[in-house]
């Protein structure tokens, strides 16, 4: 009897301790988020292009793995490692976190690439350098009151055909081979165990914009198994879920899937997907009897999140600045306004890059931007633009990929044509990545580090137009 009483006492004590401990983490209750008993809304940005590089954001060609492989081959592993280690070290520091916190942000979503962390030939062997960078980033953000959302933005094999999914074949092999899915589950279990006591981490974003191409049952099964393994080591952190078809389709996920009280519903939305921008000349505007305005946008967002209305809603990606017309800024302002009115959390895309999409951008006078603007590299990029369609019909190459797609796959449906085009582009992207790296081959290790330093905060300038759109201001801070 005494043993039974003692055991019950210890179990009760552990439950009390766990409940007290849970209060230190961001928790979901109904459709809202709470911290220490007070409602909180997360508002912030994405740290794109850091632990998952994207071609247009760094100024190179190819996927993350292709870029790294090309640099290893052309420069040698030592110089390539020196560049990327310096890049990852300076990309986000105390100055970056201080800048974001002063603007009223309290959250940052961190896209990570499983291929950056795990040795492809040794399952379960995780890169200590990448982990140290992530640990440091979380510590810095926490010191400035910024919560970190860990986002598995790319998995081995690729969760879609998109270049940011880092699929080397240009196909979503993650859904073709169970071994890839098993490794991703193990990776999440590893991260959850590592950060289970870290209150600076808000939650775990399971996988970015998955597209099973009609096999949602595979996504459902993988999410179930992965969430189960996470909950074995971490019962408290938020689990953030995106639907199939690039996060748009939640209908294939059964209702009981949401029984975990700490799940959060996430969706993404961009003006170039939500509006017929190529036909619009202003916003708001009426076209073909349809009024494209804030009410239209709200209805569109409600359609996307209808399945998850009983859970906290998180607008994980949205933004502009990548070639859209200037009136797209007004659309983004409406996106933020609607999210605030509905009580949703949000993180815009993105914080830093070499172009106009970042809240801060690498300055034109830095060594990296100077390299990208050099005549020889500029010529390589112009040839690529012609190949991929940016050069126009009269440019060299005449949009060769589009012509090839029309010639070979023109009789197929639009989806199949798109798949063919992406696979063709991936082959060309790989070769173009090597072509640009060739112009770095004579650089010393010290010079490579100087190039990487171009991504440090002091080498960047704020984007005034985007700052006006996104930054929260003290009157809207919710810490």
SS3 annotation, 396-424:
CCCCHHHHHHHHHHCCCCHHHHHHHHHHH
Q: How far apart are CA 39 and CA 28, in angstroms?
A: 9
Paired tokens of 52: 């998952």
pLDDT at 18 over 50: no
Q: How far apart are CA 449 and CA 82, in angstroms?
A: 6
Q: How far apart are CA 46 and CA 151, in angstroms?
A: 9
Question: pTM for the complete prediction?
Answer: 0.91
Three-state DSSP class for 361?
strand
> What confidence score (pLDDT) does residue 475 get?
44
| pLDDT tens per residue, range 433-445 | 888 999 999 999 9
| Average pLDDT score, the chain | 88
Q: Which of 120-129, 279-288, 303-312, 340-349 has the lowest mean pLDDT?
A: 303-312
Q: Give φ, ψ of 19 to 5 degrees.
A: -65, -45
> What confidence score (pLDDT) does residue 456 get?
98
CB count in 10 Å sphere of residue 65: 21
Region 392-416: mean pLDDT is 64
> What confidence score (pLDDT) does residue 395 get?
35
Confidence of residue 21 (pLDDT cuts 50, 70, 90): confident
Paired tokens of 263: 């799940």
Domain 30-364+459-474: CATH class, spelled out? alpha beta
> What confidence score (pLDDT) does residue 19 get?
44
Q: Which residue has the higher pLDDT, 450 or 7?
A: 450
| pLDDT tens per residue, range 184-234 | 999 999 999 999 999 999 999 999 999 999 999 999 999 999 999 999 999
Q: How far apart are CA 111 and CA 208, in angstroms?
A: 8
Q: Are strands 313-317 and 345-348 parallel, antiparallel or unpaired?
A: parallel
Kindly give the residue spans of alpha helices, DSSP state H, lying in 306-366: 328-342
> What confidence score (pLDDT) does residue 230 get?
98
Domain map of the chain by residue range?
30-364+459-474
| pLDDT tens per residue, range 63-109 | 999 999 999 999 999 999 999 999 999 999 999 999 999 999 999 99
Region 15-31: mean pLDDT is 74
Q: How far apart are CA 130 and CA 148, in angstroms?
A: 16
Helices 414-437, 375-388: crossing angle, 10 deg rounding:
170
Task: Measure Cα distances from 58 to 74, 362, 433 in Å.
Answer: 18, 10, 12
C-alpha 432, offset from chain centre: 24
Q: Which residue has the higher pLDDT, 307 or 305?
A: 305
CB count in 10 Å sphere of residue 416: 12
Q: How far apart are CA 89 and CA 452, in angstroms?
A: 9
Q: Are strands 38-40 and 27-29 parallel, antiparallel or unpaired?
A: unpaired
Q: Are strands 290-292 and 285-287 parallel, antiparallel or unpaired?
A: antiparallel
Of 97-111, 392-406, 431-445, 457-471, where does the model show the most confidence?
Answer: 97-111
pLDDT at 420 over 90: no
Sign of CA dihedral 23, 27, 32, 33: positive
> What confidence score (pLDDT) does residue 131 get?
98
Beta strands in 199-289 (DSSP E): 201-205, 238-241, 263-268, 285-287
* Cβ atoms of 173 and 120 closer than 8 Å: no
* Cβ atoms of 63 and 70 closer than 8 Å: no
> What confidence score (pLDDT) does residue 423 get?
72
Q: Give φ, ψ of 213 to 5 degrees.
A: 55, 50
C-alpha atoms less than 13 angstroms from C-alpha of 205 in its C-beta half-sphere = 31
Q: How far apart are CA 141 and CA 370, in angstroms?
A: 31
Three-state DSSP class for 217?
helix
Residue 209, Ramachandran bin (φ over 0: left; ψ between -120 and 50: alpha; else beta): left
Burial classification of residue 400, based on how many CB atoms lie within 10 Å of its CB (0-12 exposed, 13-18 middle, 19 or more buried): middle
- List the beta bridge partners of residue 313: 265
Q: How far apart are CA 324 and CA 275, in angstroms?
A: 11
Burial classification of residue 413, based on how many CB atoms lie within 10 Å of its CB (0-12 exposed, 13-18 middle, 19 or more buried): exposed
pLDDT at 10 over 70: no
- List the beta bridge partners of residue 238: 203
pLDDT at 377 over 80: yes
Q: Are strands 352-353 and 345-348 parallel, antiparallel or unpaired?
A: unpaired
pLDDT at 345 over 50: yes
C-alpha 262, offset from chain centre: 21
Residue 160: which H helix or E strand, with range?
Answer: none
Q: How far apart are CA 414 and CA 426, in angstroms?
A: 18
- List the beta bridge partners of residue 353: 361
C-alpha 77, offset from chain centre: 27
pLDDT at 394 over 80: no
| pLDDT tens per residue, range 143-184 | 999 999 999 999 999 999 999 999 887 889 999 999 999 999
| pLDDT tens per residue, range 251-295 | 778 888 788 999 999 999 999 889 999 999 999 999 999 999 999
> What confidence score (pLDDT) does residue 389 get?
60
């Amino acid at each position: 009897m005494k043993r039974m009483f003692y055991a019950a006492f210890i179990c009760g004590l552990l439950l009390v301790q766990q409940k007290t401990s849970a209060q230190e983490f961001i928790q979901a209750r109904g459709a809202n988020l709470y911290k220490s008993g007070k409602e909180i809304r997360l508002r912030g940005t994405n740290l794109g292009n850091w632990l998952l590089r994207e071609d247009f954001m760094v100024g190179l060609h190819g996927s993350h793995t292709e870029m790294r492989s090309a640099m290893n081959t052309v420069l040698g592993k030592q110089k390539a490692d020196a560049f990327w280690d310096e890049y990852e070290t300076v990309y986000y520091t105390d100055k970056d976190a201080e800048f974001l916190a002063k603007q009223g942000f309290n959250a940052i979503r961190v896209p990570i690439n499983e291929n950056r962390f795990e040795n492809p030939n040794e399952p379960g062997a995780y890169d200590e350098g990448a982990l140290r960078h992530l640990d440091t980033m979380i510590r810095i953000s926490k010191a400035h009151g910024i919560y970190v959302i860990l986002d598995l933005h790319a998995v081995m094999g690729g969760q879609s055909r998109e270049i940011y999914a880092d699929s080397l074949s240009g196909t979503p092999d993650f859904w073709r081979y169970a071994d890839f899915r098993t490794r991703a589950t193990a990776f999440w279990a590893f991260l959850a165990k590592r950060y289970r006591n870290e209150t600076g981490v808000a939650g775990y974003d399971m996988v970015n914009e998955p597209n099973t191409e009609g096999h949602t049952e595979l996504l459902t099964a993988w999410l179930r198994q992965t969430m189960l393994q996470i909950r074995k080591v971490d019962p408290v952190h938020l689990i953030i879920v995106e639907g199939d078809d690039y996060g748009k389709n939640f209908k294939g996920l059964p209702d009981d899937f949401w029984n975990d009280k700490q799940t959060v519903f996430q969706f993404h939305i961009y003006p170039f997907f939500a509006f017929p921008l190529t036909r619009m000349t202003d916003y708001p505007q009426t076209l073909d009897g349809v009024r494209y305005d804030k009410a239209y946008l709200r209805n569109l967002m409600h359609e996307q999140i209808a399945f998850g209305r009983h859970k906290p809603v998180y607008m994980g990606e949205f933004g502009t600045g990548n070639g859209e017309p200037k009136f797209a800024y007004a659309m983004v302002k409406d996106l933020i306004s609607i999210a605030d009115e509905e009580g949703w959390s949000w993180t815009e895309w993105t914080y830093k890059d070499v172009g106009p999409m970042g809240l801060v951008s690498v300055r034109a006078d830095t060594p990296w931007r100077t390299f990208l603007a050099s005549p020889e590299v500029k010529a390589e990029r112009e040839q690529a633009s012609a190949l991929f369609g940016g050069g126009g019909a009269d440019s060299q190459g005449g949009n060769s990929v589009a012509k090839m797609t029309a010639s070979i796959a023109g009789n197929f449906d639009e989806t199949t044509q798109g798949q063919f085009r992406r696979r063709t582009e991936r082959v060309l992207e790989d070769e173009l990545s090597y072509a640009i790296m060739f112009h770095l081959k004579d650089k010393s290790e010290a010079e490579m580090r100087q190039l990487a330093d171009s991504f440090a905060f002091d080498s960047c300038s704020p984007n005034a137009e985007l700052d006006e759109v996104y930054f929260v201001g003290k009157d809207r801070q919710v810490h």
